[in-house]
Amino acid sequence: MAKIDTRLNVAPVPPDEIFALNGAYAVDTHPQKVSLGVGVYRTDDGKPWPLPVVQKAEKELVVDDDLFRHEYTAIEGDVPFLGIARDLMFGFEGKHSEEEAKSRIGSVQTVAGTGANHLGALFLARHMKPRSVWLSNPSWANHQTIWELAGVPRKTYPYYRAATRSFDFEGMMSTLESEAQEGDAVLLHACAHNPTGLDPNKEQWVAIADLCERKKLFPFFDSAYQGFASGSVEEDAWAVRYFFNNKPDMEMCVAQSFSKNFGLYGQRVGAFHYCTNRSSTSIRDIVVNNLCHLIRGEFSMGPRVGCSIVKKVLTSDELTADWHQDLQVMSSRIKAMRKALYDELVRLQTPGTWEHIIEQNGMFSYTGLSPKQVYALKDKYHIYLLKSGRASISGLSEKNVAYVAQAIDDVIRNEN
């Protein structure tokens, strides 16, 4: 290899698979190409869908002519937005101790979900020093990068049983039970697990919460799909709310993204919430103060426009109702596409069982296709998905689902 003339000690790192695939898809000129790679919502025409409610809110924001709209925010971010984001996540309605519950949560604005995960990882690495963070196997690949950058050793707990294409609850529990150490962080996907689309049921969440409490583990929730997965913001926040309400002595945190549920991918809207145990309001303030220290040194404060849109929507009953409608549109189309793909594969009598496609939840299906089959889909059919077999169901449409099913049928039969 030629010597590289640099003072740096650098070696190439592998490109990010999701965005590399997206780039390859963008330059592919094949008329029937299909993108099942990156997790973004698409219409039945394969187009992005700026949410109608977001478009309405944007118009109102322009008309408002707010002199401050391009000014700095506080270091912790847009404070009213943070209260709204927190209430959406934790849902305090009807709680006797609403004020007390709110006083347990310290919130700061982040650069979307990735930024919230990163800030939380960095904060824990400095101030809690977990010996390890436990990630599900598999998990969103960026979790590995984020915790690597924070300098925390990563371990994995079993999550996926390939033989039955199901959630390996027993494997997860027994590994955490026997190997996790007091003070370790456990990364949990609040809903719509990425990449498997398999979530614990409520009974299993209760058992996971008990285990975290008993073993003194630190639950770190990644919530990227609230409302997008099931269509209901309450349902998709169930696990977070259960942990928070039922284990008040257990500290925990949540990385919250608004990329998918508001379709604000490029606006980078997110929040990080740290929940102290019931006795520590003053600790909550020190937490926020330390998070602000990290934020100031890294990016000074989160961006403003996207969170103004979310704030506009969630402070209006009418726009909130519209948003719930938009969530229904997105989640129902994805469910319909799961069913359409399943029906086609059954009709073609494609070898194997395909129920998992309709049983999985959220943006993705973990199809069970092998890397060789995934490669053949791209090579022969210009259909793009991750080599793990993860497919973003949103890339399917009435127009391409038969083509995709026929291609899967071919690679299943011929690429073993």
Q: Which residues contact 217 (CB under 8 A, 6 or more apart)?
A: 134, 176, 180, 182, 183, 184, 185, 186, 211
The verdict on 41 binding ligand LMR (CB under 6 A) reads no
Residue nearest to ligand LMR (CB): 39
**Binding track over 140-169 against ligand LMR, x by CB under 6 A:** x-x---------------------------
Return the biggest CA–CA distance within the chain.
Answer: 69
Rounded to a whole number of angstroms, the distance between the first and last alpha carbons of the chain is 36
Q: Which one of the listed residues 222, 236, 322, 409 is annotated catalytic?
A: 222
104 or 338: CB nearest ligand LMR: 338
Out of 35, 117, 175, 194, the only residue in the binding site for ligand LMR (CB under 6 A) is: 194
Footprint (CB under 6 A) of ligand LMR, residues 200-239: none
Q: How many residues does the chain have?
A: 416
Nearer to ligand LMR, 38 or 187 (CB): 38
Q: Which is nearer to ligand LMR, 109 or 194 (CB)?
A: 194
β-sheet bridge partners, residue 185: 133, 218
Handedness of CA 355, 360, 362, 366 (dihedral sign): negative
Name the token pair of 111. 């650069």
- Answer for which of 34, 36, 38, 412 binds ligand LMR (CB under 6 A) is 38
Tell me which DSSP letter residue 15 carries.
Answer: P
47: exposed, middle or buried (Cβ count in 10 Å: 0-12, 13-18, 19+)? exposed
CB of 36 to ligand LMR, least distance (A): 10
Nearer to ligand LMR, 86 or 390 (CB): 390
SS3 category, 143: helix
Strand partners, 365: 391
Q: How far is the CB of 207 from ligand LMR (least distance, A)?
A: 27
The amino acid occupying position 374 is: V
Q: Which two tokens mark 285? A: 């303030």
Is 260 annotated in the active site?
A: yes
Residue at token pair 């695939």: 21
> Of these residues, 155, 260, 311, 378, which one is catalytic?
260
Q: CA of 130: how far to CAs of 77, 142, 177, 188, in Å?
A: 27, 19, 16, 16
β pairing state of 154-158 and 133-137: parallel
Cβ 194 to ligand LMR shortest distance, Å: 5
Catalytic residue among 56, 78, 134, 140: 140
Q: Closest approach of Cβ 2 to ligand LMR, in Å?
A: 33
The residue written with tokens 């824990």 in the block is 124
Q: Is 18 in the site for ligand LMR (CB under 6 A)?
A: yes
Among 34, 35, 39, 312, binds ligand LMR (CB under 6 A): 39
For the bound state, the minimum distance from the C-beta of residue 225 to ligand LMR, rounded and expressed in Å, comes to 9
- How many binding residues for ligand LMR (CB under 6 A)? 6
CB of 140 vs ligand LMR, minimal distance in Å: 5
Nearer to ligand LMR, 56 or 143 (CB): 143
Q: Which residues bind ligand LMR (CB under 6 A)?
A: 18, 38-39, 140, 142, 194
Which residues are catalytically annotated? 140, 222, 260
